Structure 1
Amino acid sequence: MTDRTFDVAVVGAGIIGLAHALAAAKRGKRVVVFDRDAQANGASVRNFGFITVSGQEAGDCWEKARRSCAIWQEIAAAARIPILQRGLIVAARYPESEAVIDAFLASEMGEGCQKLGHEEASKYVPPLTSDVRCALHSPHEIRVESKTAIRQIAAFLTERFGVVFRFGEAVRNVETGRLATARGVTEAETIVVCPGDDTRTLFPDRSLAYGVTRCKLQMMRLEPASPVALKTAVMSDLGLARYRGYADMSEASALKARMDDERRDARANGVHLIVTQSADGSLVVGDSHHYAQTPDPFGNAKVNDLILDEFDRVLSLPNRRVTENWIGTYASADDRWRFTDTPMEGVRLVVVTAGCGASTSFAIGEETIAALYGTQSGA
């Protein structure tokens, strides 16, 4: 083989592309990954680094998240990626929220989770406000630092499996057995296109058929006035009314109605709360959700205030200071959380159309490569 001939070519070096590269490399395939930017710069690095299981939509999404979280832990150990937090506390302030937690715990997805009182929950998250009446504790989640973890996975794939990365090389055409960039043609037996929210450059007609648009979100980093240690990530009532693993249950109807009435602005801006902690003690906080084919690039101070208002209702950290703000975007569709399409023989287009790419990608990568090359014995 030459440096322009591979078994598998992956377009996109975000977490979905890396997941496919890993699954193919584990099978002994010679893999090349292309990305138009100098490094991953999209949703894969503009997030919480929060690998979420509990709260994912029941069925396929939840199952993919469970499998992906297991793979994340394997890769984190092998690639020397620190796991900064384990588990999740969903802080509940309303009786309607407690009913959702009880229903969730009675479902298949509640295995290993438990409901805690304020005192017990505060052992995981000491600054919980007195308004928090109870909490859902899930042990299944992990948290990594996305900005560095994505780079470490790419380095691991190169060191362990010889995966070739071609950063700064935009793919402008794909056909069966070959793809083209400004630097020439690369031949590959199979090609997996993982474009993130750029669904207009390659196979736009295929993405259009799935009704794909884009979601814009606002996030920030906070510096507590004094040191605080959160053992788990934190969510709140707004998450119980939005995350489909909770919100799709019939018991969530009363909570959603109350949130629509009392938290109208937050609900209208797709605000819910996630808080994770970095190694330096700072907190990553968000987020909001606005949808458009081309979202504007501007952050809205009122939306940030809605996020911070929910933060202050759940966590008592006076004089906390915002040190960073940023905007993320991801692909979105009304009627599905992902799709895998076959534009032509030997080519797959893989898009996660919800904000759960980091939580589900490794299992999707396994699925795609298994469909292309067959299930491995013992897998």
Structure 2
Amino acid sequence: MRILIVGGGVLGTMHAWTAVERGHEVVQLEREAEARGASVRNFGLVWVGGRAAGAELATAVRARRLWERIGERVPGLGFRDNGSLTLVRTEAELAVAREVAASPDAARGFKLLDAAETRELNPALRGDFLGALWCDRDAAVEPRTAQPALRAALTASGRYTWRPGREVRTLTSTGVVDDHGERHEGDVVLFCTGAWLGGLVREVAGELPVRRVRLQMAQTEPLGEPLTTSVADADSFRYYPAYRGPALDGLNSGQPQGEIPAGHAMQLLMVQRLDGSLTIGDTHEYTQPFGFDVDEDPYGHLAEVAGALLGRPLPRIRRRWAGVYAQATDAGAIVHRERLSDNAFLVTGPGGRGMTCSPAIAEDTAAELGL
């Protein structure tokens, strides 16, 4: 079959990868010269540890296996099996980590480490903390290079064409028409347009059970030594469903977040890039319209927390940015997938799971459509 994919982010590109792997011909259209949305404005985390038990966790575990297999074939992904440490600095935070580590959920590979074990696993962490929740299933890729690397591998198949700078304006019974007036014919059209929910998407789909979420992040100068794992602070317990339980209730009531992290719905996540720099974040903003600028207070908070865990000042921040992702709002939904017409489907709204789960989401789409 000939499949048209509208959207050049990681979700669209993974749908292209899955289709080509199944023997189909793919044309991928992107309105920008290169993907510029949430697919490159993220941590590159393949984050299994925080996922909700059930379908979401199963999807993340399956996606983790797929990322590893694809990474073996596409070195430009920068896939690494580095795991994650969620550091705890108070007894209330330690109680959450202890409760989670004692749960019978082996799919995540949780283990509670004391401070010495934590520093042995990640010697760059020389700050003051009681220990950490270790998740050996977490991994990382390079978000700025992942899509180009995947496209290069797809092009080598001879069944893939990349068409950037093409905004799709019309959906027809046999394909799409772009803003250059060019028709692209295909048996199936997949819209993987991320947080772009206006224009043609709104015209053909109307209002969707999807919200937009804005975040702030940054990248530092090189750390000067390896950060051998991804790192989170205990505020991440408050934002991921895997950690819910009596101990988290106690943390929320007895140790509420400060004004800045609470006001910006913050956690610290920190991942080292292949060049030695650190990606740090993040905030969450849900009320639109979003501002056009970034707020400096969260960056000060992130630098303070990261420095406390590292035991020295955070390297100088050299890039700051905001990003917006689309999040399905239906209870329990991993992604919003719907038929737009006889030959067209929309797949959007993975939320913060996009980088983690996109390979498995693409497999599920292919199975649902019989591709």
TM-score by length of 2: 0.92
How far apart, CA to CA, are the structure 2 residues paired with 1:282 and 1:258?
Answer: 35
How far apart, CA to CA, are the structure 1 residues paired with 2:206 and 2:259?
Answer: 32
Unpaired runs of at least 5, structure 1: 1-5, 375-379
Q: Which moved more, 1:227-236 or 1:248-257?
A: 248-257
Question: For residues 160-188 of structure 1, what are the alpha-carbon distances to aligned partners after superposition, in whole Å with 9 as ceiling and x for unaligned?
Answer: 35211111111112244311112421121
Per the alignment, residue 125 of structure 2 pairs with 128
- 1:29-68 → structure 2 map (5 Å cutoff): 29-68=24-63
How far apart, CA to CA, are the structure 1 residues paired with 2:307 and 2:327?
Answer: 29
Does structure 2 retain, via aligned residues, the 8 Å contact 1:84–1:278? no
How far has the Cα of 1:14 moved from its partner?
Answer: 0.5
Per the alignment, residue 253 of structure 1 pairs with 249
How far apart, CA to CA, are the structure 2 residues paired with 1:207 and 1:295?
Answer: 23
Unpaired runs of at least 5, structure 2: none
Per the alignment, residue 201 of structure 1 pairs with 199
How far has the Cα of 1:84 moved from its partner?
Answer: 4.8
Compute the RMSD of aligned alpha carbons: 2.1
Residue 186 of structure 2 corresponds to residue 188 of structure 1: yes
Q: Which moved more, 1:328-337 or 1:9-18?
A: 328-337
Residue 266 of structure 2 corresponds to residue 271 of structure 1: yes
How far apart, CA to CA, are the structure 2 residues paired with 1:76 and 1:87?
Answer: 16
Residues 289, 346 of structure 1: alpha-carbon distance in 2 compared, 3 angstrom cutoff: same
Which residue identity is paired with 1:73?
Answer: E
Per the alignment, residue 90 of structure 2 pairs with 94
Per the alignment, residue 168 of structure 2 pairs with 171
Residue 130 of structure 2 corresponds to residue 159 of structure 1: no
How far apart, CA to CA, are the structure 1 residues paired with 2:270 and 2:356?
Answer: 16
How far apart, CA to CA, are the structure 2 residues paired with 1:334 and 1:309?
Answer: 33
- State the secondary structure of the residue aligned to 1:288: coil
Which residue identity is paired with 2:9?
Answer: G
How far apart, CA to CA, are the structure 1 residues paired with 2:121 and 2:361?
Answer: 31
Residues 265, 109 of structure 1: alpha-carbon distance in 2 compared, 3 angstrom cutoff: farther
- 1:64-143 → structure 2 map (5 Å cutoff): 64-81=59-76, 82-84=78-80, 86-105=82-101, 106-108=103-105, 111-143=108-140
Per the alignment, residue 231 of structure 2 pairs with 234
How far apart, CA to CA, are the structure 1 residues paired with 2:205 and 2:352?
Answer: 17
How far apart, CA to CA, are the structure 1 residues paired with 2:156 and 2:133?
Answer: 40
Deviation >6 Å, runs of 4+: none
How far has the Cα of 1:338 moved from its partner?
Answer: 2.0
How far apart, CA to CA, are the structure 1 residues paired with 2:242 and 2:314?
Answer: 34
Residues 326, 366 of structure 1: alpha-carbon distance in 2 compared, 3 angstrom cutoff: same
Does structure 1 retain, via aligned residues, the 8 Å contact 2:80–2:140? yes
Q: Which moved more, 1:186-195 or 1:101-110?
A: 101-110
- State the secondary structure of the residue aligned to 1:325: strand
Q: Which moved more, 1:202-211 or 1:272-281?
A: 202-211
How far has the Cα of 1:243 moved from its partner?
Answer: 1.5
How far has the Cα of 1:153 moved from its partner?
Answer: 0.7
- Report the number of matched residues: 366
How far has the Cα of 1:151 moved from its partner?
Answer: 0.8
Which residue identity is paired with 2:339?
Answer: T
- State the secondary structure of the residue aligned to 2:339: strand
Residues 173, 206 of structure 1: alpha-carbon distance in 2 compared, 3 angstrom cutoff: closer
